[in-house]
Chains A and B, each alone.
Chain A
């Protein structure tokens, strides 16, 4: 409620002309001062609640992630809790056991954060750049497609199939991303393909 700022001498009879707050005006200024003295050493901490989509399956449940600290204020943000988004029409606040354990998924030491490559003969993965990874994937796909693409079946009917490579795309995508993914993958002839557009 906004206080009317014009001091128009309303209710002069009340003689209450000094007060800036309801507590002061009501004669509880002492208690008000005690609270003020009590809270003065306290600092405000920032938490953030962020909407997102569960990355596990194509149901794409809505989630709310709670974090301490605000990235927008230049602070470090740490996720402290994740729960279902009650306003999301798909899951209305519910989550399956995998979704309910998302916080551990986020903080897992084995979580995949960069493209990784295990070279032929090596016993471990190494981090590589996105440029390298995408070039390498494109190169290998081209080799495989050139070698195994089926343009016509036994009767000579054009089929344009590429059955030796599969493609799996993520759940937390928009309609537009799903559409573009579908167009790109199907136009190469890939048959083994699953993504959000199936749902």
Chain B
């Protein structure tokens, strides 16, 4: 008899219909590297190229930071237990503002960002942020974490938000995804942050499932399709896009007639290259057109406030 083939049948792939995982934890190095690559590709064809190039360089700085920063201390089991008992997300965003590791992250990111080519206004904002006293920096961090960025200082807060993204993604990656449970509609189960966009994925085992992506810690969590992730309503959901007749848009605005808000939805099952942050910025035109409707933007992205 012939020897047994190394190829063995895998009965789990036959007949079984897998359940989409609840949480996709962020691999910080992978997501920031992929995002930077995506920014570069989008910049090559976009009218928004100067900004996309800038954000691409900033994201690359985030990625190299993830690769070089010392490991974080393991998450505090007692604090996770307490959060679970109170039906709260395990990462306490309010206490992130005073985390000692965050200060190092800021220093290193701002240093790397100083080498990026940027307009004078952005450079001035960066130098203001670098020279800010610890108290001021803490206040800006608290603003970003409270999703309340003062309208008159959007630029300095962009750099602070970029630093928080790095730190929060590393904190979220350290959590055990199997312990995360739904908190509420549109609330990140890892850090409690708001979603930036939602993504319909196409990978094996979750084809067609929709994941909301946290704008703070980049954790993705499963949300039911055709449901407003701002208010949870399943009634009055529609989609707006700018596709030509006969084509299908892969970035759409999901509008809700119940709470009158809209949030972007990216069809990664149609185009696997779509990135929840890079393509959100690059599809700025959709935000501009949606500004003319009576829907209010509910997606959160510190790189494109004001839409």
* Pairwise interchain contact A72-B257, C-beta atoms closer than 8 A: yes
Give min CB distance, A128 to chain B, whole Å: 35
The residue that B207 contacts in the complex, of A28, A30, A86, with Cβ under 8 A, is: A86
Q: Does chain A have a CB within 8 A of B185?
A: no
* Pairwise interchain contact A86-B152, C-beta atoms closer than 8 A: no
Give min CB distance, A67 to chain B, whole Å: 10
List of B residues within 8 angstroms of A49 by Cβ:
225-226, 237, 239
* Pairwise interchain contact A35-B152, C-beta atoms closer than 8 A: no
Give min CB distance, A37 to chain B, whole Å: 8
List of B residues within 8 angstroms of A164 by Cβ:
none
List of A residues within 8 angstroms of B302 by Cβ:
1, 22
Report A65-92 CB contacts with B as 1/0, cut-off 8 Å: 0000010110000000001111100011
The residue that B289 contacts in the complex, of A15, A30, A42, with Cβ under 8 A, is: A42
Q: Does chain B have a CB within 8 A of A155?
A: no
Classify chain B: how many residues form its interface, as a range: 35 or more
Give min CB distance, A71 to chain B, whole Å: 10
* Pairwise interchain contact A70-B238, C-beta atoms closer than 8 A: yes
Classify chain A: how many residues form its interface, as a range: 35 or more
Report B280-297 CB contacts with A as 1/0, cut-off 8 Å: 000011101110010000
Q: Give bound CA distance, A119 to B307, whole Å.
A: 64
Q: Give the residue name and chain of the A residue nearest to B19 (CB).
A: A92
Report A32-63 CB contacts with B as 1/0, cut-off 8 Å: 10111011001111111111000000000000
Contacts known (A14-B125, A86-B208); A24 close to B226, Cβ less than 8 A: no
Q: Does chain A have a CB within 8 A of B194?
A: yes
* Pairwise interchain contact B290-A21, C-beta atoms closer than 8 A: no
* Pairwise interchain contact B288-A26, C-beta atoms closer than 8 A: no
Q: Does chain A have a CB within 8 A of B100?
A: no
User: Could you tell me which residues of chain B, from 126 to 153, have a CB within 8 Å of some CB in chain A?
Assistant: 128, 132, 136, 139-140, 143, 147-153
* Pairwise interchain contact A7-B152, C-beta atoms closer than 8 A: yes
User: Could you tell me which residues of chain B, from 248 to 298, have a CB within 8 Å of some CB in chain A?
Assistant: 252-253, 257, 284-286, 288-290, 293
Q: Give bound CA distance, A177 to B47, whole Å.
A: 56
The residue that A27 contacts in the complex, of B121, B152, B288, B304, with Cβ under 8 A, is: B121
User: Could you tell me which residues of chain B, from 209 to 263, have a CB within 8 Å of some CB in chain A?
Assistant: 209-210, 215, 224-226, 236-243, 252-253, 257
Q: Give bound CA distance, A8 to B139, whole Å.
A: 13
Q: Give the residue name and chain of the A residue nearest to B282 (CB).
A: A35
* Pairwise interchain contact B303-A39, C-beta atoms closer than 8 A: no
Q: Give the residue name and chain of the A residue nearest to B128 (CB).
A: A14
List of A residues within 8 angstroms of B46 by Cβ:
35
The residue that A26 contacts in the complex, of B125, B139, B307, with Cβ under 8 A, is: B125
Listed by A's residue number, 8 A-B pairs whose Cβ atoms lie within 8 Å are A3-B306, A4-B143, A26-B54, A27-B121, A34-B48, A44-B241, A45-B240, A45-B242
B residues adjacent to A (C-beta < 8 A): 17-20, 46-51, 54, 118-122, 124-125, 128, 132, 136, 139-140, 143, 147-156, 158, 194, 206-210, 215, 224-226, 236-243, 252-253, 257, 284-286, 288-290, 293, 300-307
